[in-house]
């Protein structure tokens, strides 16, 4: 650009000199022939300057138009090492090449994102404010059996329940529902969120088929349950079978049942002890079966509006004597006072199980403490019950919600399982976090509109 400016400056200086000399020639009548020569020089200088500026303007217009239209095939000829027009064209060509490379990189990046978008193992819909489907990946079309569609109206004709669910689900919330696709039931997990692009707000809907995952999880849960059921039943049945066989052998002599008079006092004492043991193990088995029945009998909640402070206060009063006797300090932190929509009896049962576990975990803890916190999180009441007890190992943490799993000698192993059943019936859930020797946090979630 420096050479280009010098070229213009030289042309202007020459033109100025020619004009000055021409004016001087016209003022002196003695040099008439010089007037003609100077006029010719003036015409040549002015014409050359006009051509130079016109060519430059045309090249600049061509350069701007190519950038505006994103046409990077335009070439600006130049000779290396030369200034003026060549230097200007070289600069234009360099900018065009940089723009071409940048667009090529953007196109490659866009193609990569498109490929990744299409290969995601989840269906994705990008929906505009006027219900047009701006983007739909291949997995979405495969899952829904529709191929690509361009509007919610078109999708609604095929899957009205899905579109209804998309419109109903809140932002950043998950929803799970059943859909019939190609005469096959499919369990879809759906999540919706809002994105803003170029001042236009889009709705991004992500969904995937979780039936296989649910089936695998169900099989795993059943395997764990059967393992524990087998363990508990075998613990009771094995001694019963062993004692029954022993009693039977004591009552036989030469393959025949002994007469009453032939039974010795020591044998009678052994038989009595065996029958007592069989009775005790049978009663234990009956208790186990009753616990199982209790676990499978969680009914439909009779929902009422509960004042959280009053509800938690009433719950703590049930344990007041035990908390005082064990010198356990309690701390309450209620951030919200919105009524809790829940069945008071079932909710109380679920929280009693959690509080009992917290109290038992503090058995050998110095300065035992239980902290209860109530907050609002994404449309849920979040009740956290935290203790500074012995904690739970990672291996045990995986099993705590499996029915009849327990680490306590006197525990039934259904407390947390029952609590989870109750909370699921309310549309909520329960989570457990724990570190050994640091304590446990039990988080209970109950939706606002239950």
| 192 pLDDT above the threshold of 90 | no
Arithmetic mean of pLDDT, 357-380: 88
Is the pLDDT score of 190 beyond 90?
Answer: no
Lowest mean pLDDT, pick from 193-202, 279-288, 424-433: 279-288
- Computed from CA positions of residues 22, 23, 25, 29, in that sequence, does the dihedral angle turn out positive or negative? positive
The token pair at 230 is: 């087998």
Alpha carbons 441 and 124: distance in angstroms, whole number: 35
Least confident span in 24-38, 133-147, 184-198, 248-262: 24-38
pLDDT value at position 166?
81
Backbone angles phi, psi at 178, to 5 degrees: -95, 140
Is 229 within 8 Å of 404 (Cβ atoms)? yes
Of 368, 336, 346, 353, which is closest to residue 439 (Cα–Cα)? 368
Of 6-15, 302-311, 411-420, which gets the smallest average pLDDT? 6-15
Kindly indicate the confidence band of residue 62, based on its pLDDT and cuts at 50, 70 and 90: confident
Mean per-residue pLDDT over the chain, rounded: 77
Residue 37 is predicted with a pLDDT of 66
Q: Is residue 293 over pLDDT 70?
A: no
Interacting residues of 132 by C-beta distance below 8 A, sequence separation 6+: 150, 151, 152
pLDDT above 60: residue 444: yes
**Sole residue written with tokens 């759906």:** 190
Ranking 91-105, 241-255, 388-402, 419-433 by mean pLDDT, the lowest is: 241-255
The pTM for the full model equals 0.46
* More confident site: 387 or 197: 387
Q: Of 17-31, 199-213, 425-439, which one has max mean pLDDT?
A: 425-439
The whole-number average pLDDT for the span 181-187 is: 73
Residue 299, pLDDT score: 67
Gap between the Cα atoms of 144 and 155, Å rounded = 9
For 124, residues 6+ apart whose C-beta sits below 8 A from its C-beta are 117, 135, 136, 137, 139, 140, 204, 205, 206
* pLDDT value of position 369: 93
State what percent of residues in the chain have pLDDT above 90: 5
Q: Which of 47-51, 240-244, 343-347 has the highest mean pLDDT?
A: 343-347
pLDDT tens digits, residue range 272-288?
887 887 777 777 677 66
The answer on pLDDT for 147 being more than 60 is yes
Lowest mean per-residue pLDDT among 279-288, 323-332, 417-426: 279-288
Which residues, in sequence order, are bridge partners of residue 126? 135, 204
pLDDT digits (tens, 9 = 90+) for 221-266: 666 666 666 766 666 677 777 777 777 777 777 777 777 777 778 8
Residue 139 has pLDDT above 80, yes or no: yes
pLDDT at 404: 63
- CB count within 10 Å of CB 201 equals 10
* pLDDT value of residue 3: 56
Q: What is the pLDDT of residue 34?
A: 61
Across 345-366, average pLDDT: 86
Do residues 214 and 187 touch, judged by C-beta distance below 8 A?
Answer: yes
Q: What's residue 384's pLDDT?
A: 92
Mean pLDDT of 85-89: 71
Q: Are 338 and 381 in contact (CB under 8 A)?
A: yes
Residue 14 reports pLDDT greater than 80: no
Print the SS3 string covering the chain. Answer: CHHHHHHHHHHHHHHHHHHHHHHHHHHCCCCHHHHHHHHHHHHHHHHHHHHHHHHHHHHHHHHHHHHHCCCCCCCCCCCCCCCCHHHHHHHHHHHHHHHHHHHHHHHHHHHHHHHHHHHCCCEEEEECCCCEEEEECHHHHHHHCCCCCCEHHHHHHHCHHHHHHHHHCCECCEEEEEEEECCEEEEEEEEEEEEEECCEEEEEEEEEECHHHHHHHHHHHHHHHHHHHHHHHHHHHHHHHHHHHHHHHHCEECCEECCHHHCCHHHHHHHHHHHHHHHHHHHHHHHHHHHHHHHCCCCCCCCEEECHHHHHHHHHHHCHHHHHHCCCEEEEEECCCCCEEECHHHHHHHHHHHHHHHHHHCCCCCCCEEEEEEEEECCEEEEEEEECCCCCCHHHHCCCCCCCCCCCCCCCCCHHHHHHHHHHHCCCEEEEEEECCCEEEEEEEEECCC
């Amino acid at each position: 650009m420096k050479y280009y400016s010098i070229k213009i400056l030289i042309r202007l200086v020459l033109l100025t000199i020619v004009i000055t000399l021409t004016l001087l020639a016209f003022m002196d009548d003695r040099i008439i022939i010089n007037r003609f020569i100077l006029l010719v020089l003036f015409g040549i200088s002015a014409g050359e300057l006009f051509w130079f500026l016109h060519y430059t303007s045309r090249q600049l217009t061509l350069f701007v138009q190519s950038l505006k239209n994103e046409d990077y095939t335009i070439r600006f000829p130049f000779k290396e090492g030369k200034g003026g027009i060549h230097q200007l064209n070289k600069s234009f060509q360099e900018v065009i090449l940089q723009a071409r490379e940048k667009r090529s990189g953007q196109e490659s990046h866009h193609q990569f994102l498109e490929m990744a978008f299409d290969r995601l193992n989840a269906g994705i819909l990008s929906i505009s404010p006027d219900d047009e489907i701006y983007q739909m990946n291949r997995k979405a079309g495969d899952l829904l059996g529709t191929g690509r569609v361009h509007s919610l109206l078109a999708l609604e004709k095929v899957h009205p329940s899905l579109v209804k669910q998309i419109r109903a689900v809140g932002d950043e919330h998950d929803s799970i529902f059943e859909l019939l696709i190609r005469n096959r039931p499919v369990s879809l997990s759906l999540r919706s969120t809002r994105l803003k692009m170029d001042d236009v707000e889009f709705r991004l809907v992500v969904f995937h088929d979780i039936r296989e995952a649910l089936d695998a999880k169900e099989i795993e849960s059943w395997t764990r349950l059967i393992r524990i059921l087998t363990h508990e039943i075998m613990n009771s049945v094995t001694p019963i079978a062993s004692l029954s066989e022993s009693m039977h052998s004591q009552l036989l002599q030469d393959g025949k049942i002994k007469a009453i008079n032939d039974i010795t006092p020591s044998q009678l004492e052994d038989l009595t002890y065996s029958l007592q043991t069989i009775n005790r193990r049978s009663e234990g088995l009956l208790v186990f079966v009753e616990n199982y029945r209790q676990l499978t009998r969680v009914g439909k909640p009779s929902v009422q509006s509960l004042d959280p402070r009053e509800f938690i206060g009433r719950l703590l009063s049930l344990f007041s004597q035990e908390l005082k006797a064990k010198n356990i300090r309690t701390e309450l932190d209620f951030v919200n006072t919105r009524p809790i929509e829940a069945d008071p009896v079932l909710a109380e049962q679920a929280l009693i199980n959690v509080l009992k576990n917290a109290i038992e975990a503090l058995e050998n803890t110095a300065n035992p403490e239980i902290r209860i916190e109530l907050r609002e999180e994404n449309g849920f009441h979040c009740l956290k019950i935290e203790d500074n007890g012995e904690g739970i190992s990672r291996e045990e943490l995986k099993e705590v919600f499996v029915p009849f799993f327990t680490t306590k000698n006197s525990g039934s192993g259904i407390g947390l399982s029952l609590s989870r059943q109750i909370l699921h019936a309310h549309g909520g859930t329960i989570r457990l976090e724990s570190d050994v020797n640091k304590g446990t946090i039990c988080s209970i979630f109950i939706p606002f509109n239950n």
